[in-house]
Amino acid sequence: MYDVAKIRADFPILSREVNGKPLVYLDNGASAQKPRVVIEAITQAYEMEYANVHRGLHHLSNLATEKYEGVRAIVARFLGAPDSEEIVFTSGTTEGINLVSYAWAAPRMQPGDEIVLSVLEHHANIVPWHFLRERQGVVLKWVEPEPDGTLDPEKVIAAIGPRTKLVAVTQMSNVTGTLVDVAAICRGAREKGVPVLVDGSQGAVHRPVSVAEIGCDFYAITGHKLYGPTGSGAIWIAKERMAEMRPFLGGGDMIRDVYRDAVTYNDPPMKFEAGTPGIVQQIGMGVALEYLMGLGMGNVAAHEADLRDYALSRFKGLNWLNLQGTAPGKGAIFSFTLEGAAHAHDISTVLDKKGVAVRAGTHCAMPLLEFYGVTATCRASFGLYNTRAEVDSLVEALELCHELFA
């Protein structure tokens, strides 16, 4: 049974107050809180098990290396990946997507070649492709969602033309919570011989993932949204694609031999991991992923679906609340504006006074906000520890906003 009270007790920060009120943390889309097991693992790593990895022959270096390298297999298991050698450690999704842009895409794109993107994307899955547009004349082909935020896989597949070299698409919008049928997109793209990069930053947090079932080529995750430390993350890269990649960052660890006039590289995945990595961060992410697998991602998804349905039922009565994105089966992420003149920043300030933490602004998704004709929204994003009572607290605080600003 999914015991949310017991789960909440695993997260020390959830028992604190903010502005004299119990914290209602609804900013999980930006970053999630950390369970005690992760905090303790970080402390343990620094207090008793810390040294640099890979290069030492002493006890602590071997211990740190064993723990750090062990995380690759945990990530592979979490993502349903057949082989842990297909996991490249990164500092987060942003680095993962930039790696693909520099190491895989840049060398194979000619002027006029195309990348197909959706308007749902986070800037992390837009700007690395703009670099190729600016520097190499690559054309970005945008696919719009439906007004409710749904992304039709057929529209994405139809946008793939003879010059398309990559499809880059999110599995879940960080603004609307839209869940994208990335497996259908991958099937269509594969028929046309085009690789697919999936931004799993939000998708992997809220439901079970299997890259084998999705059938993508690249799948990026970011540890801090997965209840792990900041600066941790990974990207799963299909072996075939990894073999096509040139190194991105140069330095220690990614090389085999360095001479005055030549250099040879380490085998993948280390070929793509230059310099001292986020050792403790990745160890912490491994513990976070084990924690999630212990809860069962299917159970997390069911709990959050209940919160979504409950929130939608409570929002129904608020005819002054405009939701951006109401796609069926979406995640428990709600972007909204209020009728009247209240700016998102004012709304979030009032909510904060009530202890309710939400995000206000563009959510690093300016093309999507432009699609909805708004310059800023508030976003309440739920996580595995949130409750129906917290939905009620949000609604109460919104009613106060309406009174103040109407």
Question: Of the ranges 121-129, 130-138, 185-193, 354-362, which one interacts with ligand PLP (CB under 6 A)?
Answer: 121-129
Question: Of the ranges 118-126, 177-185, 243-251, 295-303, which one interacts with ligand PLP (CB under 6 A)?
Answer: 118-126
What mask of x and - would describe binding to ligand PLP in positions 40 to 59, judged by CB under 6 A? --------------------
Shortest Å, Cβ 122 to ligand PLP: 3
Own/partner pairs, 40-48, CB within 8 angstroms, 24+ separation: 41/283, 41/284, 41/287, 42/229, 42/280, 42/283, 42/284, 45/279, 45/280, 45/283, 45/284, 46/280
**Which residues in 360-379 contact ligand PLP (CB under 6 A)?**
364
325 binds ligand PLP (CB under 6 A): no
Between 183 and 364, CB nearer to ligand PLP: 364
- Choose, by CB under 6 A, the member of 28, 93, 101, 362 that binds ligand PLP: 93
Enumerate helices (H) and strands (E) in the chain, giving the number of each.
Answer: 15, 17
271 binds ligand PLP (CB under 6 A): no
153 binds ligand PLP (CB under 6 A): no
DSSP class of residue 131?
H
- Choose, by CB under 6 A, the member of 28, 174, 324, 381 that binds ligand PLP: 174
Please tell me the distance from the alpha carbon of residue 353 to that of residue 338, in angstroms, as a whole number.
Answer: 18
Question: In what helix (H) or strand (E) does residue 255 lie, and over which residues does it extend?
Answer: strand 255-258
Active-site positions read: 364
Residues near 388 by Cβ (< 8 Å), separated by ≥ 6? 306, 307, 310
Shortest Å, Cβ 273 to ligand PLP: 16
**Which residues in 175-234 contact ligand PLP (CB under 6 A)?**
199, 201-202, 222, 224
Residues near 396 by Cβ (< 8 Å), separated by ≥ 6? 354
Question: How far is Cα of residue 312 from the mean position of the Cα atoms in its chain?
Answer: 23
- Choose, by CB under 6 A, the member of 28, 94, 98, 386 that binds ligand PLP: 94
Spatial contact of 10 and 34, defined as CB atoms under 8 Å apart? no
Between 94 and 150, CB nearer to ligand PLP: 94
Please tell me the distance from the alpha carbon of residue 309 to that of residue 217, in angstroms, as a whole number.
Answer: 33
- Choose, by CB under 6 A, the member of 32, 105, 119, 124 that binds ligand PLP: 124
Spatial contact of 107 and 132, defined as CB atoms under 8 Å apart? no
Shortest Å, Cβ 96 to ligand PLP: 8
* Residue 91: strand, helix, or coil: coil
Nearest to 68 by CA among 51, 83, 92, 82: 51
92 binds ligand PLP (CB under 6 A): yes
Question: In what helix (H) or strand (E) does residue 322 lie, and over which residues does it extend?
Answer: strand 321-324
Shortest Å, Cβ 120 to ligand PLP: 8
Tell me the number of residues near ligand PLP by CB under 6 A.
Answer: 14
Between 224 and 303, CB nearer to ligand PLP: 224
Please tell me the distance from the alpha carbon of residue 388 to that of residue 343, in angstroms, as a whole number.
Answer: 26
Please tell me the distance from the alpha carbon of residue 100 to that of residue 166, in angstroms, as a whole number.
Answer: 11
Between 255 and 301, CB nearer to ligand PLP: 301
* Residue 251: strand, helix, or coil: coil
Give first-to-last CA distance, the chain, whole Å. 43
Shortest Å, Cβ 91 to ligand PLP: 7
Between 64 and 358, CB nearer to ligand PLP: 358
Shortest Å, Cβ 334 to ligand PLP: 14
Shortest Å, Cβ 84 to ligand PLP: 22
Interface residues toward ligand PLP, by CB under 6 A: 92-94, 122, 124-125, 170, 174, 199, 201-202, 222, 224, 364
